[in-house]
């Protein structure tokens, strides 16, 4: 029983302990909540922390240090909301960064809007995030509403309008399929030439491929998670569909397993993203080398570049914000400073600009997607930039 008493006392002390953690008056507090479960998820968070450390070592923001707190939300909305609440109300952060998954970012938008804390979105692409009317939200990635249009525009103008669709049942692929179908109809007035809805982890696509072969299509959309997509790509060649029929990948095509598993079948597959590792600009080459040497990752995907761009934009905004020491005022000042970022040229496929209105036109910073094609499959896969497509500000809004 003495043990129980001790435990109670201990619990109480712990309570006191975690209440007192707040407020270092001269720091700029930044909270990060991200998915830290996958190998890359770890690396994204790690890179942000490293970059923030770099800013501090170079003298900080006008003499102030950035104190960053990194939390794992496991890509779960309840945990992400709890993290956001903790960061906002306990750590009293000036700025919140999060999250990786759209399903986590969506509810956090309401948390930051209500509490009045600027939020920078590193990875989420769901178009509804910026449509909630929050003044506090800023998105670094390309919004989902642009991607659908980018694919449709490029496919219709350069490949043809007779497209076969293979759609796996996972959430991302279902969305990718629907987006392309909708945009092809809106832009060119065509329905899918063929559509197959398959299971999330389907293994046998041969019957579908035979039918598609007999239809003489211009292209095939393979919307599926990485391993499933790789299998479908391999089987499309086995069925005898020639390389002149272009394979269009869904968003998962940027994942390394696709070229690694599909091998030669990955060659010629293209997809839309916000960053191409094959980018020839010096800044991109330096970045690729940095990621390779620090984290041992070959050809970083756009989630790396977006995390990096985010820290740079944050740095610019913090330097321009007039911080007074009052938390509420400083949060507003940082929000306005981010809204003033115009034409930032970083790693991203296009310039990132924000403005003051709480509208998606203002808060979806990057409107340019880059179309990336695999030129070589296998372990040492290679990519090329096929095209850059910039969309109109209000594209895809109802």
Single out the segment in contact with another protein by CB under 8 A; choices: 2-10, 182-190, 246-254, 302-310: 2-10
Cα separation, 90 vs 76, whole angstroms: 20
**Is residue 376 at the binding interface for another protein, with CB under 8 A as the rule?**
no
170/315 with CB nearer another protein = 170
Among 30, 96, 97, 106, binds another protein (CB under 8 A): 106
**Is residue 111 at the binding interface for another protein, with CB under 8 A as the rule?**
yes
| Contacts of another protein in 183-242 (CB under 8 A) | none
| Contacts of another protein in 43-72 (CB under 8 A) | 45-46, 49, 69-72
Minimum Å gap between C-beta 32 and another protein is 10
Minimum Å gap between C-beta 69 and another protein is 6
Minimum Å gap between C-beta 57 and another protein is 13
Question: CB of 46 within 8 A of CB of 32?
Answer: no
Q: How many binding residues for another protein (CB under 8 A)? A: 54
Strands 368-376, 270-273: pairing is antiparallel
Strands 270-273, 119-121: pairing is unpaired
Cα separation, 280 vs 283, whole angstroms: 8
Among 27, 56, 67, 90, binds another protein (CB under 8 A): 90
Question: CB of 378 within 8 A of CB of 259?
Answer: yes
Q: Three-class SS string for 365-385?
A: EECEEEEEEEEECCCCCEEEE
Residue count of the chain: 398
User: Exposed, middle or buried by CB within 10 Å (0-12, 13-18, 19+), for 308?
Assistant: buried
**Is residue 78 at the binding interface for another protein, with CB under 8 A as the rule?**
yes
Minimum Å gap between C-beta 4 and another protein is 6
- Residues contacting residue 300 through CB under 8 Å, at least 6 positions apart: 275, 277, 287, 288, 291
15-34 mask for another protein (x: CB under 8 A)? xx-xxx-x------------
Number of continuous H segments (helices) and E segments (strands) in the chain: 13, 13
**Is residue 81 at the binding interface for another protein, with CB under 8 A as the rule?**
yes
Give the strands of the sheet with 219-223, arranged side by side. Answer: 194-198, 163-168, 219-223, 246-249, 270-273, 368-376, 382-390
| Contacts of another protein in 117-176 (CB under 8 A) | 126, 128, 131-132, 169-172, 174-175
Question: How many CB atoms sit inside 10 A of residue 216's CB?
Answer: 10
| Contacts of another protein in 243-302 (CB under 8 A) | none
Among 52, 55, 108, 253, binds another protein (CB under 8 A): 108
Write the DSSP symbol of residue 37. Answer: S
**Is residue 358 at the binding interface for another protein, with CB under 8 A as the rule?**
no
Cα separation, 220 vs 229, whole angstroms: 12
Among 10, 26, 59, 114, binds another protein (CB under 8 A): 114
Binding site for another protein (CB under 8 A): 1-5, 11, 14-16, 18-20, 22, 36, 42, 45-46, 49, 69-72, 75-78, 81-83, 85-86, 88-90, 92, 102-103, 106-111, 114, 126, 128, 131-132, 169-172, 174-175
């Amino acid at each position: 029983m003495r043990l129980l008493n001790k435990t109670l006392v201990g619990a109480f002390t712990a309570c006191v302990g975690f209440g007192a953690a707040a407020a270092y008056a001269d720091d700029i507090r930044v909270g990060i909540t991200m998915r830290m479960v996958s190998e890359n998820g770890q690396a994204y968070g790690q890179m942000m922390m490293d970059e923030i450390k770099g800013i501090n070592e170079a003298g900080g923001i006008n003499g102030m240090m950035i104190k960053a707190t990194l939390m794992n939300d496991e890509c779960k909305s309840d945990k992400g909301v709890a993290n956001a609440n903790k960061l906002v109300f306990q750590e009293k952060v000036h700025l919140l960064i999060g999250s990786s998954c759209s399903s986590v970012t969506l509810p956090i938008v309401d948390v930051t809007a209500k509490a009045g804390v600027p939020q920078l979105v590193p990875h989420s692409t769901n178009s509804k995030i910026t449509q909630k009317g929050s003044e506090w939200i800023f998105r670094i990635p390309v919004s989902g509403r642009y991607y659908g249009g980018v694919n449709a525009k490029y496919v219709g103008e350069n490949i043809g309008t007779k497209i076969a669709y293979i759609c796996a049942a996972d959430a991302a692929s279902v969305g990718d399929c629907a987006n392309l179908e909708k945009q092809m109809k809106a832009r060119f007035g065509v329905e899918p030439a063929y559509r197959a809805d398959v299971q999330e982890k389907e293994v046998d696509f041969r019957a579908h491929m035979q039918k598609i072969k007999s239809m003489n299509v211009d292209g095939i959309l393979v919307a599926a998670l990485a391993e499933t997509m790789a299998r479908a790509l391999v089987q499309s060649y086995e069925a005898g569909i020639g390389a002149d029929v272009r394979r269009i990948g869904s968003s998962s095509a940027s994942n390394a397993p696709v070229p690694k598993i599909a091998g030669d079948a990955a060659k010629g597959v293209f997809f839309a993203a916000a960053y191409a590792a094959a980018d020839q600009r010096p800044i991109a080459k330096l970045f690729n080398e940095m990621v390779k040497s620090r984290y041992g990752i070959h050809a970083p995907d756009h989630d790396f570049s977006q995390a990096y761009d985010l820290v740079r934009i944050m740095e610019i905004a913090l330097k321009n914000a007039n911080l007074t020491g009052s938390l509420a005022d400083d949060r507003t000042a940082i929000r306005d400073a981010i809204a003033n970022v115009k034409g930032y040229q970083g790693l991203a496929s296009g310039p990132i600009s924000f403005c003051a209105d709480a509208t998606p036109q203002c808060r979806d910073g990057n409107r340019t997607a880059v179309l990336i094609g695999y030129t070589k499959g296998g372990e040492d896969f290679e990519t090329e930039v096929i095209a850059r497509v910039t969309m109109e500000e209000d594209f895809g809004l109802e």
